[in-house]
Amino acid sequence: MVRNTDPVALNTALLSSTHFAFQQECGGSFGAAWSGRGWYDNVIAVDPKDPDRVWAGGVDLFRSDDAGRTWGLANYWWEGNGFAHADQHALVFHPQYDGTRNQTLMVAGDGGVYRTDNARALVARGDAAPCDSSGSAVRWTSLDHGYSVTQFYRGAVFAGGLAYLGGAQDLGTIVGGDAGGPEGWRQVLGRDGGFVAVYAESDHLSFVKSTDGGNTFTSAAEGIGGASFPYIAPFALDPLDGQRLWLGGDSLWTTDDGAEHWHRASSALGANALDLLSAVAVSPHDDQHVLAGTSQGLIVRNDAALSAVPGTPWLAAHPRDGFVSSLVFDPQDLGVVEPRRWYDLAEPRRHRLLPAARPSRPLPRRRSAPSPAALRRHRSRRLRFARRRGDLGRRGHRLRERSHRVARPQSSLPFRLHSRPRRVADRTAGLTLAVIASLAWAAMISSSRRTTPNA
């Protein structure tokens, strides 16, 4: 067991990225960054043949050989080949693991599934362990073999529909296409990717902009300053004008010259300083209509967005609590918007933001089961018809006979029909049978109809 006050720094790094936490010790150019990631990367496993040998997975992989008192580094995710991808979520020993002839251990994380066949090999120890990957003899092999684990935040399609650009979690910004197939993606920007867009008329990319199909990128953030942005900043390309983009932070920013210059189009829009914009949408019907959602469930809109400036008011609504992950305009109805939240993507709810137009003709009514009043009216009409015929005896017998055959299997009916037909002797008996038969006929409207036999 270790604490964050342990004098050996490596023992306190189980849930941090050692690559960034030990920048100073390893002569890096960045300051030390200790990022507690136990909320996301947190897995532990005990060697089946040695209870003192314990594995722990955070951003990287560690092993203790003394029941958790000290730890050694067993993976260097930033080194690439021979090591497992960062962010570990599962550790599984081979079913025939014996610690000698079979030392196979498998790990699953953000990069898929990896295997080592020497789980008991030497691991790197001490505060200099993250500086040199040769300190660990444990090596890892990818088992993905076509298993795609990429999580895209957003994607876009190049002109022609055969090449694609995507911002991916932990895999940067990657480009692929039909020609290269599922294994032909290449990374053009590192770290975490985010929102992306393609201007279809010229294949120019934004937000860091490329003019050569993604081979090189230049900054396209001129004008942006004094603002706060979420870790994955949302932006949207105007579907009616490829030179105009909208970017969300604590407020909305826009550009109308292909990200050459930006200007603020609102003041802060969230409910508080921590409530940043998480989704942006531009109407495909009229790009004056722009929507934005926040991390705490607010949805703001402007119906004259192209002229918006920092002091322009944006109307706000709060249909539900939760992180708004995307907003979609109804392609047929400008006034209907579908906000999606990370926890209820399977059941999105639609909201009307603008008045609906009346339909040109009434919608057809659905057929439903007859009401009690309808049954009473039907019985009354049948009874009047029988009286006009003047042959209630004969008519009643026919009705009773038909109803007896149709209703007999329905044991749940609230009345009982005679089990065998009888000859009707007078008009009173015929009237009674006619009423009973009419009730049965009305109750069986939804059943299959049968032909009444001739008298």
Closest CA to 108 of 95, 83, 89, 86: 89
Alpha-carbon distance 147 to 341, whole Å? 27
pLDDT averages per 10-residue partition of the chain, 455 residues: 80 87 80 78 94 94 93 91 91 96 94 94 90 92 83 82 84 82 79 73 50 75 82 87 90 90 91 87 91 92 93 89 87 69 48 46 47 64 55 45 41 36 40 38 39 39
C-beta separation of 195 from 152 below 8 A: no
**CATH, range 152-352:** 2.130.10.10
C-beta separation of 77 from 53 below 8 A: no
pLDDT of residue 66: 93
pTM of the predicted structure, to 2 decimals: 0.50
3-class state of residue 34 by DSSP: coil
Owner of token pair 């003709």: 361
Closest CA to 237 of 340, 334, 157: 157
Written as one string, the DSSP assignment of 175-192 is: EEETTT-TT--EEEE-SB
Task: CATH 2.130.10.10 in the chain: give the residue spans.
Answer: 152-352
Alpha-carbon distance 390 to 146, whole Å? 83
pLDDT of residue 365: 47
pLDDT of residue 414: 37
pLDDT of residue 32: 74
pLDDT of residue 28: 75
